Amino acid sequence: MFDQNEMKTAFAIIMDQVKGRVPVYFGIGAISTTKCVALAEMAEKMGAKGISILQPMFLKPTAEELFQHFKTIAEAVPNLPVLLYNNPGRTGYTIPTTVVEKLAHKVTNIVGMKDSSGDITQTSEYIRMNRDVDFKVFGGKDTLIYATLCHGGVGAVCSTVNYMPELVLPIYDKFMAGDLKGALEAQFKMNPVRLSMDKASFPVAAKDMANLRGQDVGNPIHPSLSTAEGSVAREAMKAEMKKAGLL
């Protein structure tokens, strides 16, 4: 939704606000390999500590085309760690496990991936097939953080942690402390809030919830619109947030 200049401006603001306190990864979702390379090089010059790359949307690439796409981008920034980003719900197809395995074993700086498939078997296969190399798999489905950790994932990349960290972090923290029952209960507490977002437009619900919590993140970019006050979707989100103690 952003052009390259807008992305550069936004990333400059992010880097200024972070001030080196935590590593910042730059997410890339362009369709063409050339544009992705340009964005990766821009991010590196601006101080990104890594990049993540979504598979090209709209296209239906072959396994070889996907391999060459990710390989070319990663090799353009050899000093940056690269995460693959599998999101079939937004692109229309899944990155094949064989492609991920080949990239993990042949491209040195491709060090892991985020899997938002929502298919725990898919996530598990990404983990199983790359256990012999230093390749980390993160969950991308907020409702499956616990399941991802149980299958050997190292964590999760969650939109929800931006506006309700008190519901998300305990899942990971309790799991790592060996409190599996507590981690599962934390997952179950968070899930109804996350699922209530599905009644609204994507990714508008994330801004809706942040604004409801007083973060003042503004309105979404057109054609997206904020969820209307009094609508079924907005009231459902508010109800679950109240039950969880967020409002």
Catalytic annotation, pick one of 19, 35, 114, 174: 114
Read off the pLDDT of residues 84-126 as tens digits, 9 standing for 90 and up: 999 999 999 999 999 999 999 999 999 999 999 999 999 999 9
Burial class (CB in 10 A: 0-12, 13-18, 19+), 203: middle
Looking at the predicted structure, is the pLDDT value of residue 1 above 80?
Answer: no
Average pLDDT (40-63) is 97
- What pLDDT shows up at residue 3? 87
Query: How are strands ordered across the β-sheet holding 155-156?
Result: 25-28, 50-54, 82-86, 110-115, 136-139, 155-156
- 2: confidence class by pLDDT, cuts 50, 70, 90: confident
- What pLDDT shows up at residue 109? 98
Catalytic annotation, pick one of 8, 25, 35, 85: 85
Looking at the predicted structure, is the pLDDT value of residue 42 above 90?
Answer: yes
Of 11, 79, 15, 60, the closest CA to residue 39 belongs to: 11
- 8: confidence class by pLDDT, cuts 50, 70, 90: very high
Assign residue 245 a region: left if phi > 0, alpha if psi is -120 to 50, beta otherwise? left
- What pLDDT shows up at residue 102? 98
| Alpha-carbon distances of 147 from 169, 202, 204, rounded to whole Å | 15, 24, 26
114 included as an active-site residue = yes
Q: What's the full length of the chain, in residues?
A: 247
Read off the pLDDT of residues 183-226 as tens digits, 9 standing for 90 and up: 999 999 999 999 999 999 989 999 999 999 999 999 999 999 99
Average pLDDT (58-63) is 95
85 included as an active-site residue = yes
- What pLDDT shows up at residue 63? 98
